[in-house]
Amino acid sequence: MLLVCVCVCVCVCVSCAVFLCLIQGLAQLEILCKQLYETTDTAVRHQAEKALVEFTNSPDCLSKCQLLLERGSSSYSQLLAATCLSKLVSRTSNPLPLEQRIDIRNYVLNYLATRPKLAAFVTQALIQLYARITKLGWFDCQKDDYVFRNVIGDVTRFLQVRAVMVDSSLFDIFTLSCNLLKQASGKNLNLNDESQHGLLMQLLKLSYNCLNYDFIGTSTDESSDDLCTVQIPTSWRSAFLDSSTLQLFFNLYHSIPPSLSPLVLSCLVQIASVRRSLFNNAERAKFLSHLVDGVKRILANPQCLPDPNNYHEFCRLLARLKSNYQLGELVKVENYPEVIRLIANFTVTSLQHWEFAPNSVHYLLSLWQRLAASVPYVKATEPHLLETYTPEVTKAYITSRLESVHVILRDGLEDPLDDAGLVQQQLDQLSTIGRCEYEKTCALLVQLFDQAAQTYQELLQSTNSSAMDITVQEGRLTWLVYIIGAVIGGRVSFASTDEQDAMDGELVCRVLQLMNLTDSRLAQAGNERLELAMLSFFEQFRKIYIGDQVQKSSKLYRRLSEVLGLNDETMVLSVFIGKIITNLKYWGQCEPITSKTLQLLNDLSLGYPSCLVRKLVKLSAVQFMLNNHTSEHFSFLGVNNQSNLSDMRCRTTFYTALGRLLMVDLGEDEDQFEQFMLPLTAAFEAVAQMLSTNTFNEQEAKRTLVGLVRDLRGIAFAFNAKTSFMMLFDWIYPTYMPILQRAIELWYHDPACTTPVLKLMAELVHNRSQRLQFDVSSPNGILLFRETSKMITTYGTTFDPHSTQQITDYPKLSQSFYSLLEVLTQDHMNFIASLEPHVVMYILSSISEGLTALDTMVCTGCCSSLDHIVTYLFKQLSRSTKKRPAPMATDDRFLHIMQQHPEMIQQMLSTVLNIIIFEDCRNQWSMSRPLLGLILLNEKYFADLRNSIVNSQPPEKQQAMHLCFENLMEGIERNLLTKNRDRFTQNLSVFRREVNDSMKNSTYGVNSNDMMS
């Protein structure tokens, strides 16, 4: 007895130890997944990838995959498990047993059914796994039953489980939770008791989870929160037509402590988001009335709202009032005037306390933005009162931002202006709100701006002013410039008046006057945030008032003429270009300002309308840039040893814009082009000089070269006309192309150097706007191809050859690789025939692998490549059997390789025939083209293969299958002429249809993998 107990204890201990090891291994896999998908360190990612490849090939991979799916805490680990399972069920060597694949199939369906909240990419990977199991097991048979063919039944049962659960079980659960909550609210619960508190919390979570269920499988995420509609089933209508459900949650909010009330508000957010079509018009109005009453009650008794969680959820609830209901419906609610007043007061108070829950402000601004945008479309006779309350909201936002500046600087708090995304989001919302009752908005901005600008100017002129005071005023002006740009950008052409354009003019004049003041001080000091606000303003101004968007008789231009002497659009453009040059001169080492400035220049150079660019080119400032684009005038063009090579990317944008401007009047003027290229010529000569010596500053050479090729890429992108492109090509070839080749040879291991060079070459060979259509007598096409291929060869020889498996793991790489093979086999078979045997075999094995690829594009390309190879081989064999001139040595070598390795061609014949007969062949025509050549080259093997397939059929089906093969070759001659190929393709279509009909009623299972052996 004691021995038995000891044995049991040992077994338990061993099991616990094994379990603990599995858990530890799971944690390690989770870490590796995060490193693979999240880390920015290339070395760490490479190590993680290597470790995960070893995991995929480990013998216990299957059990660990299930553990990852069951216990994994991240979506990345679930994705890894799904991917590994796909590879396991796909392998042809040592395939999984049929029973195991059935278990995996069933497990995947149940997993999907019970976890509706999976990440979208995990769901997709699991569905692909199910599809892969079904496809590969289509002909697998268990007890006379094709177990993987009942796809429709499996999916239907899967959907029925969800539908039944949603329509009955889930609704029953929701009803039960509501009833229990009613009972709890009717009792005097002691919520200080942990058990009672926990019970109520779980009931609220249960209700929320029922309402938050993904009823239609959309898997919405938090980023679309403000657009979410809860697709409640029609069978749930009774719960929402009954006002007691809504009233229950409002009553609970007021009766339970703040620790639980956020859950109640979360439920109310979901209830407020119920789809509109659940009700008719009368029912919807009644439901909305109860909802608004509840909101009013919360606003009238805001004791719980100081809690951040309550506050956030309540802001979400307010936003749903407009996202799910129309303004015309809201104004008809009986107590609308009182509610809109309370909401406005709540919003103003919230904005004034800017430091409290800043992430919740988005929902309040979203509500007012939607309300203001709806004003022109309201047909109801009841007053919406927005003309009274939107100015209050606008004023509260503006003044609160200005007041926050001093507090942030004094207390060292995080500055909201540093979060560009958040600021832009709020400004987009304010642009619509501020345009409602625009006269009041404009008057407020003018008043505040004048006060801030006057104070700022006085501080600058005073000798006793502190740096803190100046910084505070610059911060206030930064907010005002951002806001002015936003409200100008909110102009809607059909709803704007001359008076509003005149108001825009008042605001624009003030910003430009401020710009003149700040630019005059840049030699001594500048404020980065204020400059970024200026650029944001210029971008909005450009979108609305530059070009054909508005009439030049607009009152804005009149005001600019009166105040600043800017009489027309050309003079306004001169202000833009002047600001761009000033920024590039003084802020060249500040990447955010430089990149945004160059983006503004790029937008102006795009040329819509074309007359705009012509006006730009006539400006003296633009001519200055075209004639002086050197580091002396634009510091960001210099070689700075402290900066990263990637920081030079903005140079491409700069030269793209300059290239467009140069092309306006360039025509065929080669002297003008040579003059423009002088700085780049000097840079190339400097690099050539450095590379010609044995000892040179490698970092300086790299930086100079990278900057240069980025500049050239921008010019090449802009030169989309044939004449200008030929000037560039004649300039770079043949003088400077060897320098690029030398750079690739020296620094092939440094992507920061090779990538810009290769991108320049890619741009040069891009036939943009047909610019590479050279004359018949011109050798430029051949020269360009020769230089490009030389560079590709130079760069390519530095890499270790990838295995075919590695190539197929990367979709983009595999598509490019097989497209290249297709072109090579189509036009350069003599070259391929001259390659070494191991290279030829690698090409053939790659094509064989690609024939079974899931990517149709890859599979089709492989069929085409195989067709070219088979046709070439067939012609060489035909020539050798006739009295023809002696073939070239390369042809003999290629024939010899094929004779030494007949299994390669035979394998591809087996693969193609297997796909056509047993799989869902989506590119049958492409498959048919090489198949005839494969059959003619391997007639004996084809006969054996045919007999094998026929004999695998039931006795009563063998004659029919034999007849199908006979009909396939009926009328087919022993050649590969087009007419013969077309006839074979027609026969193959009939063959495939007849074979499928013959096998439908067969009780014998044919495993498609058997043919591949």
Q: Is there a contact between 636 and 590 (Cβ–Cβ < 8 Å)?
A: no
Domain match, 728 and 871 both: no
- When pLDDT is averaged across residues 190-216 and rounded to a whole number, the result is 85
Band of the pLDDT at 331, cuts 50, 70, 90?
Answer: very high
What is the pLDDT at residue 35? 76
Instruction: For the chain, give the mean pLDDT.
Output: 84
Highest mean pLDDT among 276-280, 472-476, 839-843, 844-848: 472-476
What is the pLDDT at residue 889? 53
Q: What CATH number does the domain containing 770 carry?
A: 1.25.10
> What are the tens digits of pLDDT across the range 377-415?
888 888 999 999 999 999 999 999 999 999 999 998 888
Domain presence at residue 540: no
Peptide bond into 811 cis (omega under 30): no
The single residue listed with the structure tokens 């200055």 is: 624
- When pLDDT is averaged across residues 862-880 and rounded to a whole number, the result is 88
Does pLDDT of 957 surpass 90?
no
- Type of residue found at 565: G
Domain boundary among 82, 114, 149: 149
> What are the tens digits of pLDDT across the range 57-78?
777 777 778 877 887 778 888 8
Distance CA 291, CA 734 (A): 76
Coil/strand/helix, residue 141: strand
Domain presence at residue 125: yes
What is the pLDDT at residue 388? 93
Does pLDDT of 538 surpass 90?
yes
Domain presence at residue 404: no
Domain presence at residue 409: no
Distance CA 596, CA 424 (A): 14
- When pLDDT is averaged across residues 835-863 and rounded to a whole number, the result is 87
Which of 139-153, 481-495, 700-714, 970-984 comes out lowest in average pLDDT? 139-153
Band of the pLDDT at 673, cuts 50, 70, 90?
Answer: very high
Band of the pLDDT at 1012, cuts 50, 70, 90?
Answer: very low
Domain match, 854 and 739 both: no
- When pLDDT is averaged across residues 681-703 and rounded to a whole number, the result is 88
- Find the helix or strand (DSSP H, E) in which 672 lies: helix 670-676
Domain match, 790 and 827 both: no
Band of the pLDDT at 18, cuts 50, 70, 90?
Answer: very low
What is the pLDDT at residue 271? 93
- When pLDDT is averaged across residues 114-139 and rounded to a whole number, the result is 83
Report which of 523, 411, 406, 390 is spatially closest to residue 474, judged by C-alpha positions: 406
Band of the pLDDT at 1003, cuts 50, 70, 90?
Answer: very low
Domain presence at residue 690: yes
Which of 13-17, 956-960, 983-987 comes out lowest in average pLDDT? 13-17
What is the pLDDT at residue 647? 63
Instruction: Domain of residue 73: give its range.
Output: 32-149
Domain match, 830 and 704 both: no
What is the pLDDT at residue 705? 92
Q: Which residue did the predictor score with more confidence, 883 or 663?
A: 663
Domain match, 833 and 790 both: no
Q: Is there a contact between 487 and 397 (Cβ–Cβ < 8 Å)?
A: no
Burial of 104 (0-12, 13-18, 19+ CB in 10 A): buried
> What are the tens digits of pLDDT across the range 216-229?
765 554 444 555 78
Band of the pLDDT at 31, cuts 50, 70, 90?
Answer: confident
Domain boundary among 740, 765, 799: 799
What is the pLDDT at residue 796? 80
- When pLDDT is averaged across residues 709-720 and rounded to a whole number, the result is 94
> What are the tens digits of pLDDT across the range 223-258?
445 557 888 888 888 989 988 999 999 999 998 888
Q: Structure tokens of 737?
A: 């192309």
Domain presence at residue 539: no
Domain match, 869 and 760 both: no
| E strand residue ranges, 106-196 | 141-142, 145-146
Distance CA 595, CA 654 (A): 9
Q: Is there a contact between 770 and 722 (Cβ–Cβ < 8 Å)?
A: yes
Does pLDDT of 557 surpass 70?
yes
Domain match, 852 and 784 both: no
- When pLDDT is averaged across residues 289-314 and rounded to a whole number, the result is 92
Does pLDDT of 806 surpass 70?
no
> What are the tens digits of pLDDT across the range 776-787?
888 988 999 999
Highest mean pLDDT among 114-118, 166-170, 730-734: 730-734
> What are the tens digits of pLDDT across the range 762-802?
999 999 888 888 888 889 889 999 999 999 888 887 765 55
Q: Is there a contact between 473 and 512 (Cβ–Cβ < 8 Å)?
A: no
Domain boundary among 134, 149, 164: 149
Domain presence at residue 598: no
Report which of 694, 679, 677 is spatially closest to residue 732, judged by C-alpha positions: 677
Distance CA 859, CA 869 (A): 15
- When pLDDT is averaged across residues 299-325 and rounded to a whole number, the result is 90
Domain match, 831 and 766 both: no
Computed on alpha carbons and rounded to an integer, the radius of gyration of the chain in Å comes to 37
- When pLDDT is averaged across residues 159-170 and rounded to a whole number, the result is 62
What is the pLDDT at residue 147? 77
Domain match, 995 and 867 both: yes
Does pLDDT of 84 surpass 90?
no
Domain match, 729 and 824 both: no
Strand partners, 145: 142
Distance CA 171, CA 345 (A): 38
Domain presence at residue 84: yes
Distance CA 815, CA 657 (A): 33
Helix orientation angle between 261-272 and 308-323, rounded to the nearest 10 degrees: 10
Which of 71-85, 171-185, 497-511 comes out lowest in average pLDDT? 71-85
What residues contact 32, with CB distance under 8 A and at least 6 apart?
Answer: 48, 51, 52, 55
What is the pLDDT at residue 16? 42
Domain match, 771 and 908 both: no
Does pLDDT of 902 surpass 80?
yes
> What are the tens digits of pLDDT across the range 563-572?
999 888 889 9
Which of 80-84, 206-210, 705-709 comes out lowest in average pLDDT? 80-84
Distance CA 870, CA 936 (A): 10
- Model pTM above 0.75: no
Strand partners, 146: 141
Burial of 186 (0-12, 13-18, 19+ CB in 10 A): exposed
Distance CA 48, CA 71 (A): 20
What is the pLDDT at residue 5? 44
Domain match, 991 and 845 both: yes
Q: Report the number of distinct structural domains present in the chain.
A: 3
Q: Structure tokens of 136?
A: 């590969």
Q: What are phi and psi of 383, to 5 degrees?
A: -70, 140
Q: Structure tokens of 87?
A: 């590879």
Report which of 232, 242, 330, 333 is spatially closest to residue 274, judged by C-alpha positions: 232
- When pLDDT is averaged across residues 839-851 and rounded to a whole number, the result is 88
Q: How many helices (H) and strands (E) does the chain have?
A: 47, 2
Does pLDDT of 452 surpass 80?
yes
Band of the pLDDT at 17, cuts 50, 70, 90?
Answer: very low
Q: Structure tokens of 279?
A: 């009700």
Band of the pLDDT at 995, cuts 50, 70, 90?
Answer: confident
